[in-house]
Amino acid sequence: TIHVIGVTGIQFNAVGETAGVMLAEDALQKKKTITIPANTKVEWLIDQRELTNAYPVLELNRGKDALINIGYAEALYDSSNRKAHRDDIDGKSFRGYQDGLKASGKEVHYMPLLYRTFRYIRVSIETKEQPLEIMDFYGIKSEYPFDYNASFKSENPLLDTVLSVGWRTAKLCAMETYMDCPYYERLQYIGDTRIQGLVSIYNSGDDRLLRQALSQFDQSRMAEGITMSRYPTKDDQQIPPFSLWWIGMVHDYWMYRGDKDFVSGLIPGIRQVLTFFESFQQSDGSLGEMPYWNFTDWANNKGWFFGAAPNAQKGNSALMDLQLLWAYQVAAQLESEVGLPVMSQVYKSKIAQLEKVIRSKYWSAEKAMFADEDTRQLFSQHANVLAILTEMVKGEDAAKLMDKVLTDPLLAQTT
């Protein structure tokens, strides 16, 4: 095994299915030349046993004009085109990104310019007039070098397994930036990154990638004041609530790191985000018609549309108002401790106004919970959890409300 910072050489774990030239299950676990005769078609399915980020390296010789295709998949698919149990390959089909190359007839070491993400690799080969020699096929694993420095004890072994899977997932989603997923978009979204940053701090203590993300989101702010929903990327996308959650990320970092110099440098960006939202607040403080994509969650209940909560675009939305209230609350604390106390007072007046309008517009005495919109016809877990987090409801009343959130199946459910 070769160890470099963030990089490890790996042999592929197991060959699951073969056709054309048969291979033993452990055939790729050590370097050994495999010869494929001329005019032969070969297909191998490799199971790495767990999702992996790695640069595949294929060492070839001879086999002029042979066509080699290497496909990568995180899971196989069943007959209904759904992802099956990840361990099950019988009767399943392969679908995934692919690299294609043609052998030159000379010795060649092929490696793509960017890492690939896979549990399964399918190698398809079609030789022409000359036999092809595969001298080696292995991967160079790549990941951000998080060390696991936490400790966890439980009498339930299932929780240990969940923690192991969760930490592996967190590491797969951390490369040169955080990312929502390593196989598909590979983008650093604020909503995902806030959670990932907390996972990093709790389990590793390494906050360098989080600091970078906080700065990158700050740098992504538009002239209007809000951040991009994801950054860095060449494709602009705006999700205004994510800009509020970026403020929450800054607050998280302050609470866990107390780095005054770094956090104070982000305060001007926080003010600009809140100035953007202030421009859409109605006279009563509630948000009116909003631009861009006001995504909150992928709920699919009545009133929700493509992740946007009821009234999120046209105004008088409890979920939008509660998220703004929460952002004002954490921003007020940041201004008080590392910014300007006078700005903290400005935000506290905004908080008082929002608390009043949220209670008057959305509280349903009949249901004893907050509605999603001002007609009080639609209800969700989201609005009521936000009401508890913002302390619109406290103490025993909050406990009773949370019981309803967890037990009422008619509420729009969080995904």
Using 70 as the pLDDT threshold, list the residues of the chain that sit under it.
1-9
Cβ-contact 280, 288 below 8 angstroms: yes
* pLDDT of amino acid 9: 64
- CA distances from residue 65 to 107, 124, 277 in whole angstroms, order as listed: 13, 14, 60
pLDDT in tens, 236-274: 999 999 999 999 999 999 999 999 999 999 999 999 999
* pLDDT of amino acid 3: 32
The neighbouring-strand residues paired with 140 are: 9, 55
* pLDDT of amino acid 5: 36
* pLDDT of amino acid 8: 55
Distance CA 92, CA 107 (A): 35
Q: Quick one: tokens of 165?
A: 């899977």
- CA distances from residue 325 to 229, 318, 398 in whole angstroms, order as listed: 19, 10, 17
- CA distances from residue 259 to 207, 211, 243, 251 in whole angstroms, order as listed: 11, 10, 21, 11
Query: Which amino acid appears at position 73 of this protein?
Result: A
Torsion of CA 340, 344, 345, 347, to 10 degrees: 130
* pLDDT of amino acid 4: 34
* pLDDT of amino acid 2: 33
* pLDDT of amino acid 7: 44
Residue 96 backbone phi and psi in degrees, to 5: 180, 175
* pLDDT of amino acid 358: 98
* pLDDT of amino acid 1: 34
**Cα 233 to chain centroid, rounded:** 15
Q: Side-chain half-sphere of 188: how many Cα atoms within 13 Å? A: 24
N-terminal to C-terminal alpha carbon distance within the chain = 41
